[in-house]
Structure 1
Amino acid sequence: MTVTISTNGSIFEEQGSPFFYLADTVWSAFTNATLEEWEEYLDYRKMQGFNVLQMNVLRQWDASGSDLEWEPFALQEDGSYDYSQLNEAYFDRATEMVRMAVERGFTPALVLLWCNYVPDTWATPFQEGNKMPLEVVEPYVTYAVKRFSAFNPIYLVSGDTDFPSELANRYYQTALDTVKRISPSSVATLHIQGRLREIPEVFMNHEGLDFYMYQSGHNSEFQHYSHEIAEHFYNLSPKRPVINGEPCYEQISYSRNVYGRYSALDARRAAWQSLLAGGGAGVTYGAHGIWSWHKKGQKFGIVEGEGFDSPYDWRAALRFEGAWDYSFIKYVFDMYKLVGVKPLDIVLNQTKEIRAAGNEDTVILYVPVNTKVRLDYEAEAYSFTTIDLVHRRFARTDAYRENGYSVLPMHEFEHDVVIIGTKK
């Protein structure tokens, strides 16, 4: 199957039908997972309804330790990469892992250049002195695209990048140009640094940039960016689908060595707020232990950069409850035909945390904390259902008029909810 962009530029499609992009973050699979582990992982995520896997083609600089010794390039005597010599065995194995995923119905979303391979980015200190030479980018990307083209992947040209210099931008432009020259029908985007919302014009105006991917990230001070950045990209021109490609991962610690971890509720809130604020084409989940493919007893302990506490073993992280929350989101969006839902500025409560969106037939609200919701909207024309997102209970809700506006009364649940209205 091939994922494409709709003619109106707002959603993904597969064989002409709306495709809700539900990805899992598994950056380090190629270097850290055995084929047996990979099969177990794929079967579990398939059961949950995930349909995209975000993976790094090259080694992730902050992957967990591993007993496997798979490297994409030949190693020099000092342990650094010889970028002139690709390791065919590494790519044979990666190709097999992609094949296993595609056979189960997943679309691979492959990162070509994580920021530590590119000079001048924020991650420069973590691979200082062993950057990929610019002249190697085109042959490497050419090789990777030809290797994986049979599987119709999505390409994330950059990984976690800022755009600090013309030199860094040339790396990403070369990679994007190469992808589109070799495989013009491939869908491509940039995975950008957390909280970033400005993309250089050379990419904004590039016909090969097919959708906007942002990350609201893992900083505890900026979780409101999940909806703020979605709004920003939704209102940009040209119109493209918007994806929060890295909301806070479940059970990852707050970045910058701040004490605390994100719960399933935090991850769920980030997803719903992203989706209803303009990112209605889909969303990405992450579990702290899956993205770095961590095994109990292995090294993690990265204190530089984002500064995260230890991950869970990958098998424990695979079964975090929050993945089921994201699975349920896809179920709701498919059942109510909400893919690409448009944000609505109709909530009169003095908060941006309550989000609303709709289409011709349906209106949907996310309410993280129980309260009476006042709307500048003819809600009485709709039949409403309130869904308890923890226990997934459905309750009838009747809107009424009060002082010239519509009201959705306090519900009877103790948790966050979505309220869905369908026209009578």
Structure 2
Amino acid sequence: MIGSMTYGQDTAQQWMKFELSFESDSLYANPLYDLEEFYAVFTAPSGKKHKINGFWDGGSNFKLRFMPNEAGEWRYETYCSDPKNLALHAQKGNFSCEKSASKHALHQKGNIIHIDGDYHLSYANGDPFFWLACTAWNGPLKSTEKEWDDYLSQRKQNNYSAIQFVATQWRGADVNSQLQKAYSGQGKIKVNPGFFQHLDKKVDKINEYGLVAAPVLLWALPKGEGKELSPGYALPQEEAIKLAKYMVARYGAHHVVWFLGGDGLYVSLFEQRWKNIGQAVFGEEHPGVVAQHPMGRSWIGDAYADEDWLDVVGYQSSHGIGSGTIDWINKGPMKKKWHKLPARPLINLEPCYEEIYFRTTDTHVRNASYWSLFATPVAGISYGANGIWPWIRKGEKILNHGSLSEESPSTWRESLNFPGSLQMGYLAEFIQQFKWWELKPDHELLTQQPGEQRSEHYVSLLRTDDYSTILVYTPLQTAIELRNPQNIDYKARWFNPVKNSYTEAELKSAGNLVQATPPAEGDWILILEK
């Protein structure tokens, strides 16, 4: 038995990956099926116990990965469903865990959790965590080490906090850069440890930059070219469960938010299938927070209200820029239902991609993102660009995506500096100056709603419970009139989401009403503070 530490450390570091390696006495033809269980119980200095599943890493190699959440002396004992395999069964050991030397918030405040009753995510110490994710579905699969470093460095510098990616082959990438698949077979499957060893380095890097990894375990779109490549659609239920459990064991020691499915239909015909998968994979104690990433304009909040394994109600507003999509964001189920369902973060995990169909601009991206952020209690938003998610290099085209595959978009590197890509960083910086986790929508404060006449003119509003802070997003230069039920004497500013700048606001008061008009054309946020 060999104990090894990540990043070359002799002892474990709190809130970082700790790894143990084992060489099995027996060779199994297909460990996914032949070995029912291999896990360890880790006992913390406080006495609390954590059951952590291990995984096969090729040949006779097995591993256990764990993120210690306490400093001090830990001990562990392994269990194997093949008790004759003494190299895996009843192995005991201990190790020392020190405070992390990393200055990143993840390694100081702890892993991401959802606290019951909250509409946002938090660090383990209770501090709120704001979600700003970049969508790099193919990034870990296709990128070189230098490309991945460059990408993560730029995202971190621009206030992103999470990276969304696909963890297997799927319709957008049939193999990785090493021409490997995550698994083979459509009935009984076999995982390919080489594929995941390549992925390990990319996931490690995400956390090294202080970013949360958000892997899609089972891409699931049930239609279109390449759907047979997507495990969430193509695999039988039991095989999908085994594959997902394997990845949870492999990456559970990382800072992760799991996307159980990607782009799937999780209601109607497929609802019970996905509830079964979710319960089987995440029904017991598990590392990480769980979200679902549905197909465009599909709402799962009501159907999954009683599914305790689901922590985040994700949604995808789709890549439309017309009134149907705008109304779905501003007047749809998120706005109508959030306060009637169990408290969970509600996050638009896929608003319109910048440059998709060569028509979507930074204005469309900003509109969709701010509207989404203001439609429910604030939790976060995701960004995507049509050259980043498929990891396009010069001359390359997108795989299996119909008309999107006909013409090459801008490269991933060019797309990093798109206006909307940078402006989402401004959004994160802007909202985090406030106690954003206390902000909830209250459009009733508006005396008039321009969006009733034209969808693209919809004005959104957030406020704290005590009315001490009010934020109003307007997509155009138009007069705003608000009710002021507390008759508060507000200080007022305008925020320019394009230039990341502030301007004093001229506020007019009349009785319990206040009025303000943006200083120039374009979209603005009015800030009212007591």
**Which residue does 2:381 correspond to in 1?**
283
Cα deviation, 1:389-416, whole Å, max 9, x if unaligned, reads: 22223111132234x5523332222221
Q: Check conservation: 1:73, 1:82, Cα contact below 8 A.
A: no
State the distance in 2 between where 1:262 and 1:301 align: 20
Stretch of structure 1 that moved more, 294-303 or 134-143: 294-303
Q: Residue 206 of structure 1 aligns to a residue in which SS?
A: coil
Q: Residue 450 of structure 2 aligns to a residue in which SS?
A: coil
Cα deviation, 1:144-195, whole Å, max 9, x if unaligned, reads: 11000110311111111113655x3344234322332464353112111111
1:207 to 276, 298, 308: 308
1:186 to 274, 288, 295: 288
Cα deviation, 1:84-124, whole Å, max 9, x if unaligned, reads: 221101101111111111011111111111114xxxx3348
Q: Residue 317 of structure 2 aligns to a residue in which SS?
A: coil
State the distance in 1 between where 2:120 and 2:438 align: 5
State the distance in 1 between where 2:256 and 2:354 align: 26
Q: Where do residues 224-303 of structure 1 align in structure 2 (5 Å cutoff)?
A: 224=326, 225-229=328-332, 230-253=334-357, 260-300=358-398, 302=400
1:206 is displaced (CA, Å) by: 0.8
Cα deviation, 1:295-324, whole Å, max 9, x if unaligned, reads: 121232755388886421111111212122
User: Displaced runs of 4+ in structure 1, greater than 6 A?
Assistant: 305-308
1:60 to 141, 154, 170: 170
2:241 to 138, 146, 151: 138
1:328 is displaced (CA, Å) by: 1.2
1:20 is displaced (CA, Å) by: 0.6
Number of residue pairs the alignment of both structures matches: 405
Q: Where do residues 312-331 of structure 1 align in structure 2 (5 Å cutoff)?
A: 312-331=410-429
Query: Structure 1's 109 and 67: CA in aligned 2 closer, same or farther, altered over 3 A?
Result: closer
Query: Structure 1's 185 and 65: CA in aligned 2 closer, same or farther, altered over 3 A?
Result: closer
Q: Residue 418 of structure 1 aligns to a residue in which SS?
A: strand
Q: Check conservation: 1:28, 1:60, Cα contact below 8 A.
A: no
| TM-score (norm: length of structure 2) | 0.71
1:19 to 129, 132, 142: 129
**Which residue does 1:362 correspond to in 2?**
469
Q: Residue 311 of structure 1 aligns to a residue in which SS?
A: coil
Correspondence 1:92 to 2:190: no
Q: Check conservation: 1:354, 1:366, Cα contact below 8 A.
A: yes
Stretch of structure 1 that moved more, 144-153 or 123-132: 123-132
Correspondence 1:151 to 2:254: yes
State the distance in 1 between where 2:257 and 2:337 align: 20
Correspondence 1:2 to 2:104: no
Stretch of structure 1 that moved more, 204-213 or 182-191: 182-191
Give the superposed CA RMSD. Answer: 2.6
Stretch of structure 1 that moved more, 56-65 or 338-347: 56-65
1:350 to 442, 449, 455: 449
Q: Check conservation: 1:251, 1:262, Cα contact below 8 A.
A: yes
Q: Residue 477 of structure 2 aligns to a residue in which SS?
A: coil
Partner amino acid, structure 1, of 2:280:
T
Correspondence 1:311 to 2:409: yes
State the distance in 2 between where 1:149 and 1:383 align: 46
Cα deviation, 1:37-88, whole Å, max 9, x if unaligned, reads: 11111111011111111111112313499865232124x7xxxx68622110
Q: Residue 223 of structure 1 aligns to a residue in which SS?
A: helix
Stretch of structure 1 that moved more, 295-304 or 135-144: 295-304
Q: Residue 335 of structure 2 aligns to a residue in which SS?
A: helix
Correspondence 1:223 to 2:223: no
State the distance in 2 between where 1:316 and 1:326 align: 16
1:33 is displaced (CA, Å) by: 1.4
Partner amino acid, structure 1, of 2:119:
S
Q: Check conservation: 1:83, 1:136, Cα contact below 8 A.
A: yes
Q: Check conservation: 2:181, 2:192, Cα contact below 8 A.
A: yes
Query: Structure 1's 366 and 307: CA in aligned 2 closer, same or farther, altered over 3 A?
Result: farther
State the distance in 2 between where 1:252 and 1:212 align: 25
Structure 1 gap segments, 5+ residues each: 254-259
State the distance in 2 between where 1:70 and 1:212 align: 32
State the distance in 2 between where 1:182 and 1:305 align: 42
Q: Residue 419 of structure 1 aligns to a residue in which SS?
A: strand
Q: Check conservation: 1:226, 1:273, Cα contact below 8 A.
A: yes
2:507 to 399, 402, 413: 399
Name the larger-Rg structure: 2
